[in-house]
Chains A and B, each alone.
Chain A
Amino acid sequence: MTKPRPLLGYLFVLPSLLFFALFTYYPVVQSSWASLRQSVPFQPGTRFVGLDNFAEMFSNPLFHKVLKNSLVFSFSSVALSVTLGLLLALMLNRTTRLSGFFRFAIFYPNIIPIVAGAMVWVFLFSPTFGPINYVLGVLGLPSGTDWLGSTPYAMVSIIVVAVWKYCGFYMLLFLAGLQSIDDQLYEAALIEGATSSQRFWNITFPLLSPTTFFVLLIAIVDSFRAVDQVFVMTGGGPANSTNVLLFYIYQTGFVFWNTGYASAISVFLFSVLLSMTWLYFRLLNRRVHYAS
């Protein structure tokens, strides 16, 4: 047996470590530092203000509204896109002549840039010449809705776009999960006379749970990172009804130029996502069934 060579191991991880250090760890440290500072009027520099920015954050009613919006957006878009992803995966798990086409069609939104996709949705949602209102009108339904310009439809619209964008990706992950389940289990269940819902709840669902947990984790993280469609479609409006955390950080930092305050919110968001990830990995290790 050869001697272990730790140096070689470090060399292998060095490239990704370098990237992480440069684009993740360094910015985290930098924004933590910036979150304790504030700019000085009429001067280019900043001064130390302790936890003032965090105090401002928790006392600012707009922050509370944004936080609530983020939770509504995350909960709805995760619940809808993960459920839809699972249903689509179950439907498309069998190989038929058209399943390849459907898989591709449903996954497709995931590979086009969300900004381009969102622009198309702006057109679809247009109150005066958008196809959505046109179709509603043809069906005799109310067709005057200003989808992106009124509450609560603006939030509904950006959730629709998030579901459209992500459910295909989750479907793909679920498909991979489904295909790793041993067919013999289903054959045995069939011989025992299990109904299709029994097969789903007793075989598919438990054995799919590692995938489900993984999908839920990335879905939640993705939902907090969603900002592109807000930027393109509503700009956080009307009256901040679609202003979510990441957009609020952008707005505070690069439109209002309150860098210290924006950094404080970033640190908050970072901590939330970090603890969520930590929690999930703990649960993952404990509860989830693994097929062996």
Chain B
Amino acid sequence: MRTTPNVKWLLCLAILIGTSFSVGQEAPTHEIVRFYFPVGVAGPLATVVGQMADEFNKTHPNITVEAIYSGGYTETLQRAVVGARGGNPPDLAIIRPSETWSAIGFGLLLSIDDFIEAEGGDAFLEPFVDAFLEDTYIRGQHWGLPFQKSTPILYYNIDHFVEAGLDPENPPADWESLRAAAAALTVTSGSDVQRWGIEMSTSDGWLHSALGLQQGGVYQNLDGTETFIDSEPYVEALEFMVALVRDDGSMPASRDYGSSAADFVAGKTAMMYNSPGSLAFVAEGARFNWAVAPLPAGNERASPTGGGSMVMFAGGSPGRKQAAWEFMKWMTSPEQAVKWTVLSGYLPFRSDILDDAQMLAYFEELPQAQQALDALEWARPRDPRTFAAGEVEAGTTDAIESALAGTSSAREALREAQRLAERALAPYR
């Protein structure tokens, strides 16, 4: 076959263009940033983060961010730690604040203080919600910026409230009235419960820690090397849960966040403590009137933060870390924060975006999302804020489970958790 001169010229041209492009792309200043992210709530969010990274790559020709979806929080940390120990760390990852302590304990993270300083220090941090920022402020240094953040809220079924003669305009504001409402809302037939008054997830320590904070509890020392899990406020918190489960029979002994949300949507529970991450699921499934409110107060109002923050891993050239910072800064900028909040249902992590037109339209569409914001007023960083946080929290979760099952008293169960925590923290003292 003969090629015509035209085709030859075209080929030469194509090669020329091709080389010039690749030369442009491989300029020495080009940095690749690897970013591991989890999706705690639902699958479609993975595409949202991917789209945001694509947009960043388009507007920042010198940086390529590889956004890698890595399952849940636990799997993301696993991937990052295994990678880092094998000499192949990611540059950025979204992990839970408690895991940030663990990762610092392993010597894997890089403090972002210098980057923040270069951006203007406190002025740069000012717009972020304090409690969210505090989550990753550890031993006097900043290690991350908030991204997918939440705090537990009370969901309640307005129709059930009306039916039980309760005022849906005034949801329970303290433990006493919560307990009374839960009992009034419970429906039984024989020994079987048809509808629970309230459900709280027992799959981690989040909600117990919320109740403990509401009694003025302090879970650990500032260094994160000592815990006070069996102190009075946390015993009272667990005793309150035990009272709901075992004395009143108004709460099931065991649920996780997903099954609680499913029960709420199915009308099997009249109230639940859950993450705002379930707002979209409930909005889609609920065939009844419902609302949300801040958690009822114990001795005081308090609500622990939840969700993940973006942290930077050590390793790689300064140029690469600078590029990672550019992406971190961009993802937490007002514009992206609005986009993320509206699409994900997580709580806004910046206070300067609440008046944004897009945000207002979102609140219009899902008023419960705006009601959820009220809880932020009492938000406090999430416990445990210790090293070996995974083990410390697992001990507390076991204590909750055995106290609610009635196999040991709240006090004895938490004492055991305290012993386990002391064991786990021994190397850090």
Contacts and interface: CB of A to CB of B under 8 A. Distances in A.
Interface of A: 38-39, 41-44, 60, 62, 126-129, 137, 142-144, 146, 148-151, 235, 237-240, 251, 254-258
B402 A238 contact: yes
A44 B84 contact: yes
Nearest to A122: B259
Contacts of A256: 388, 390-391, 394, 424
A257 B81 contact: yes
B107 A239 contact: no
B81 A144 contact: no
A128 B266 contact: yes
Contacts of A257: 81, 102, 106, 388, 390
A66 to B, nearest CB: 12
B192 A146 contact: no
Given A41-B105, A42-B107, A126 B254 contact: no
B140 to A, nearest CB: 14
A259 to B, nearest CB: 9
B387 interface: yes
Contact of B407 (A144, A148, A151): A151
B268 to A, nearest CB: 5
A257 B106 CA distance: 9
Consensus secondary structure, chain B interface: helix
B397 A150 contact: no
A42 B401 CA distance: 32
Contacts of A151: 405, 407
B428 to A, nearest CB: 5
B253 A255 contact: no
A150 B191 contact: no
Give the interface size class of chain B: 35 or more
B159 interface: no
A144 B85 contact: no
A42 B105 contact: yes
Q: By CB atoms of chain B within 10 A, which of A41, A43, A146 has the most?
A: A41
B203 interface: yes
Contacts of A39: 106
Given A137-B192, A237-B254, 19 more contacts: A39-B106, A41-B428, A42-B106, A128-B268, A129-B262, A142-B192, A149-B254, A149-B255, A150-B254, A235-B203, A237-B397, A238-B202, A238-B402, A239-B398, A239-B402, A240-B398, A255-B390, A256-B388, A258-B391
Interface in B356-398: 387-388, 390-391, 394, 397-398
A238 B102 contact: no
5 contacts: A39-B106, A128-B259, A149-B252, A237-B401, A255-B390
Contacts of B388: 256-257
Contacts of A126: 259
Contacts of A143: 192
A254 B82 CA distance: 9
A257 B407 CA distance: 29
Given A256-B388, A258-B391, A44 B203 contact: no
B390 A127 contact: no
B263 interface: yes
Contacts of B263: 128
Contact of A44 (B106, B266, B420): B106
A14 B404 CA distance: 56
B80 to A, nearest CB: 11
B191 A142 contact: yes
B193 A44 contact: no
A150 B254 CA distance: 7
B407 A150 contact: no
A59 to B, nearest CB: 10
Contacts of B104: 42
B187 interface: no
Contacts of A129: 262, 266, 268
A251 B393 CA distance: 13
Given A128-B263, A150-B254, A257-B81, A144 B192 contact: yes
B401 A44 contact: no
B105 A239 contact: no
A42 B84 CA distance: 14
A238 B405 contact: yes
Contacts of A142: 191-192
Contacts of B254: 146, 148-150, 237-238
Nearest to A254: B78
Interface string B233-269: 0000000000000000000111100010011001010
A239 B106 contact: no
B318 interface: no
Contact of A239 (B74, B266, B387, B405): B405
B108 interface: yes
A10 to B, nearest CB: 32
Interface string B58-82: 0000000000000000100010010
Contacts of B202: 149, 238
A162 to B, nearest CB: 21
Given A39-B106, A44-B85, A144-B191, A255 B74 contact: yes
A128 B264 CA distance: 11
B427 interface: yes
Contacts of B108: 44
A276 B412 CA distance: 38
A150 B407 CA distance: 11
Nearest to B195: A128
Given A128-B263, A258-B391, A43 B107 contact: yes
Contacts of A137: 192
Contacts of B268: 128-129
Nearest to A43: B107
Nearest to B416: A61
